[in-house]
Amino acid sequence: MARGVTGTSRNPVTWLGVPTFPKAARASLADTQLRRNLQHATHTIREKRAEAVGEVEDWEQLRSAGEAIKDETLANLDTYLEQLETAVTARGGVVHWARDAAEANEIVLQLAAQAGADEVVKVKSMATAEIGLNEALEAGGIAAVETDLAELIVQLGNDRPSHILVPAIHRNRAEIRDIFRREMPGAPADLAAEPRALAEAARAHLRRKFLTAKVAVSGANFALADTGSIMVVESEGNGRMCLTLPQTLITVMGIEKLLPSWRDLEVFLQLLPRSSTAERMNPYTSVWAGVTPGDGPQNFHLVLLDNGRTETLSDPVGRQALRCIRCSACLNVCPVYERVGGQAYGSVYPGPIGAILTPQLVSDPHDEQAASLPFASSLCGACFEACPVRIDIPEVLTHLRARTVEAKSKRSPESIAMSALASIMRSRRKYELAQKTGALAARLSPTEKISRLPWPGSRWTSARDAPLPASESFRTWWRNNRGGPDQ
């Protein structure tokens, strides 16, 4: 299997059928219940995180240390990956190299079939969602059961996740109760919309799955090159059940999740829980290395996934997105995400990090959804301040915006409009004439905004309103109020 190379048939990480960001965002803005759910959840998480981070006096030094460790790892990724393979193999595990989603899915499907499984239990994993593993398994006759509570809610509701850490953040208790009553086998008909009752119903449903599963599939928060250890951190205990009970464990891991040594966890196990769940430490931290005879899974397979990561690594600016430890801190402070939610991004990676990671992993100039994501930001910089590994998301956003614009034809409506605008702004006479024309249009308009323009302006107003020009320009105001020529 080829190593560290990008395949030519990568499976897109965007959801099919989702329109470009502005259109999807407009639909989300119209959903008042969604906006209430998001505002309550993000503000709660944000406040708790601020308290947890405030307890650490050397937080900024920890952020810098995390950034340095990640950058050093990415700079020498080929060496560390080979070191990881050697360590995992020495401990009885088997390493598989997947260039793209299709290869990764085929590997997992074959391994599950070889184990005689018609059903697998899963630990929450962004990588498996990225490659569409559940759908690939279903096509191969194998059911995938999500065991994380939020992922289970999304799966039973035939829904899409909207948050990295809390996939069902857009659902409230009443909605979850209705989903469980309707879709969960054995759920009580009188199930109450209370957290304890909902958790108990999910626990009873999943316990049967844990005890009968032959195969489990997990992601990985970190992998350690020196010992071949794989780590998963979680809050519910479902991960521990998946990682210990089945006979076969398959881990699908993006190649960027690697750390050089066990000692590096000292930094990341302080950064991750405080940034994600606002806890001092994760309730469950599971670490395994290969196979231990007579204890736990007796077959361990590690699938190392590229799927666009090598190509992303080649971009000196964009590569910093690969530092991401999937904490979701940037989502919880983003004013755009708070108002439209994760589904508007059309990607398994929503929010600010999704706006810079998805376009690079997809790397398809014809994917309008992915190309629109870098523009889904106000560039306020709150995401960079929150990021525990100091990813300069605004810098990458502007870099990717420029790349998108450069890829467009010089004869596109946007390019023609910008050329015309540049011509106007280079000439004082043309600029003042345009201002006067705009002011006249504003005074004659019966409305305060422009909701519909003819093509090509309709491409803008189909998803957003355009403000009317000011009825009086600043230059005119200056002349009228200061009594002299403008400078």
Domain boundary among 310, 335, 350: 310
Please indicate, yes or no, if residue 380 is contained in any of the structural domains: no
301 and 448 in a common domain:
no
157 and 305 in a common domain:
yes
Cα gap 213→210, rounded to integer Å: 6
pLDDT at 449: 81
Please indicate, yes or no, if residue 31 is contained in any of the structural domains: yes
Q: What's the pTM?
A: 0.86
Helix extents (H) in 140-219: 149-156, 173-183, 195-212
Please indicate, yes or no, if residue 350 is contained in any of the structural domains: no
Strand order in the sheet with 143-146: 94-98, 299-305, 248-254, 215-218, 119-122, 143-146
Please indicate, yes or no, if residue 346 is contained in any of the structural domains: no
Please indicate, yes or no, if residue 299 is contained in any of the structural domains: yes
Domain boundary among 287, 310, 333: 310
Cα gap 363→339, rounded to integer Å: 27
70 and 192 in a common domain:
yes
pLDDT at 16: 52
Expressed as residue numbers, the domain containing 424 is 413-482
pLDDT at 461: 76
249 and 132 in a common domain:
yes
The structural domain count of the chain equals 2
421 and 302 in a common domain:
no
304 and 424 in a common domain:
no
pLDDT at 435: 86
Domain boundary among 272, 287, 310: 310
446 and 302 in a common domain:
no
Q: DSSP character for 221?
A: S
Cα gap 486→372, rounded to integer Å: 39
pLDDT at 152: 96
- The enclosing domain of 200 has a CATH number of 3.40.50.10420
172 and 26 in a common domain:
yes
pLDDT at 22: 67
pLDDT at 2: 36
pLDDT string in tens for the chain (487-residue length): 333 333 334 556 776 556 677 677 767 777 788 788 888 888 999 999 999 999 999 999 999 999 999 999 999 999 999 999 999 999 999 999 999 999 999 999 999 999 999 999 999 999 999 999 999 999 999 999 999 999 999 999 999 888 998 899 889 999 999 999 999 998 999 999 999 999 999 999 999 999 999 999 999 999 999 999 999 999 999 999 999 999 999 999 999 999 999 999 999 999 999 999 999 999 999 999 999 999 999 999 999 999 999 999 999 999 999 999 999 999 999 999 998 888 889 889 999 999 999 999 996 767 888 989 999 999 999 999 999 999 999 999 999 999 888 877 777 777 787 888 899 999 989 988 888 888 887 777 777 787 787 877 777 777 777 778 888 888 888 888 887 655 5
Please indicate, yes or no, if residue 76 is contained in any of the structural domains: yes
Please indicate, yes or no, if residue 6 is contained in any of the structural domains: no
426 and 306 in a common domain:
no
201 and 84 in a common domain:
yes
Please indicate, yes or no, if residue 144 is contained in any of the structural domains: yes
262 and 137 in a common domain:
yes
Cα gap 100→374, rounded to integer Å: 23
